[in-house]
Amino acid sequence: MATDYYAVLGVRRDAGQDEIKKAFRRLARELHPDVNPDPKTQERFKEINAAYEVLSDPQKKQVYDLGGDPMSGAGGAGGAAGFGAGFGNFSDIMDAFFGTASQRGPRSRTRRGQDAMIRLEVELDEAAFGTTKDIQVDTAVVCNSCSGEGAAPGTSAQTCDMCRGRGEVSQVTRSFLGQVMTSRPCPQCQGFGTVVPTPCPECAGDGRVRSRRTLTVKIPAGVDNGTRIQLAGEGEVGPGGGPAGDLYVEIHELPHPVFQRRGDDLHCTVTIPMTAAALGTQCPLETLDGLEEVDIRPGTQSGQSIPLHQRGVTHLRSGGRGDLIVHVEVQTPGKLDAQQEDLLRQLAKLRGEERPSGHFQPGQQGLFSRLKDAFNGR
């Protein structure tokens, strides 16, 4: 063969169809007569057109690679010289100029449903140890009357007579490229290729209806605010009775009257009089595990913390639990009667604290004050 079609398109002899098509698109955009009217350019366009006609056809390409004449019986090489002859399908030239080809065929009436989300409030102990809860959800479900088909009982969908089941209609217009055929979704069947003459009265042809149902949700131990539990296939059923989406249950933990949660640790504050702090005592505390005695050792200072290990929230993805941290606040009496004041003066005299000088440290806060500021967002 006198003409090297691979060289014309600028590709290797072992190039695949994608590489050949990409090279042709690039050259077609540069050399098309309506874009570049130069006579030499027109001859060059005919060459790439003829080369693409051969190399894009597997049978012609095989004959060409074996040294035969791929155009024999097809009008000879001169048949490729006419405008568009090298485009086995007119969509090739549209693809070359606009980068995409139309999607053929009707679209399905059956589609996947959307995901749904519901907010669920839980108590602290439920979040700490896990629980099961019944929830009510209002979502789309398959229509029992038509089983998702959308047609009234005893009827069925019919092929659209406008597009004859293709889901699209075509229109021929003239442009600088000549006659151009464009396609668009069929306006009668909306691109489905079928029409439903008698829609189901229950779902109005959608194949689904809204219904309230009850689900049992297992809440794992250790969930926190914002944790989402996925229930696969429990969301909205899709149009046409399509597969359901997923349901997400978002956890909202209610405030506790005593404990504040920080991660998997729990914090609370116990206020004791200064005499109890000095002498030591035991304070009963209702924990998540039941009643326990918090041991206040003699000489406990305000701001000290007492950890109760393994009394916090269960770790969500591992074993064990967090801690319960009890913060101590020592309360100084604001009013004293004469006898109490006399006793305190005697104690101060015994301890040599009648006129204490104090110990000042610039800008330093106690532990309890820092914790209070952290809790208050300061």
What domains lie within the chain, and their CATH numbers? 5-98 (1.10.287.110), 116-153+197-253 (2.60.260.20), 158-195 (no CATH), 260-375 (2.60.260.20)
With contact defined as beta carbons under 8 Å apart, do 202 and 145 qualify? Answer: yes
Q: Give the mean pLDDT of the chain.
A: 83
The answer to whether 288 and 321 have CB atoms below 8 angstroms apart is: no
Q: Give percent of the chain with pLDDT exceeding 70.
A: 81
> DSSP letter at 35?
T
Supply the pLDDT for residue 48.
86
- Binding-site residue set: 143, 146, 160, 163, 186, 189, 200, 203
**Neighbouring C-alpha atoms within 13 Å toward the C-beta of 205:** 11
Phi, psi for residue 184 in degrees, rounded to 5: -145, 160
Strand partners, 48: none
**What does DSSP say about strands 247-253 and 290-296: parallel, antiparallel, or unpaired?**
unpaired
Q: Evaluate if residue 59 carries a pLDDT over 60.
A: yes
What is the tens place of the pLDDT at every residue in 131-175?
Answer: 999 999 999 999 999 988 899 999 999 999 988 888 888 877 766
- Residues 295 and 301: their CA atoms lie apart, in Å, by 13
77 vs 206 pLDDT, higher one: 206
Question: Could you give the residue ranges of the DSSP H alpha helices within the chain?
Answer: 5-9, 17-31, 39-55, 58-65, 91-98, 124-129, 274-279, 338-350, 367-375
Q: What pLDDT does residue 236 have?
A: 93
pLDDT at 80 over 50: no
Prediction pTM value: 0.61
Judged against a pLDDT cut of 60, whether residue 340 lies above it is answered with yes
Name the pLDDT band for 77 (thresholds 50, 70, 90). very low
Q: Looking at the predicted structure, is the pLDDT value of residue 266 above 80?
A: yes
Alpha helices in 164-288 (DSSP H): 274-279
Average pLDDT over residues 354-371: 63
Feature table: binding site for Zn(2+): 143, 146, 160, 163, 186, 189, 200, 203
Please, which pLDDT band fits residue 53 given cuts at 50, 70 and 90? confident
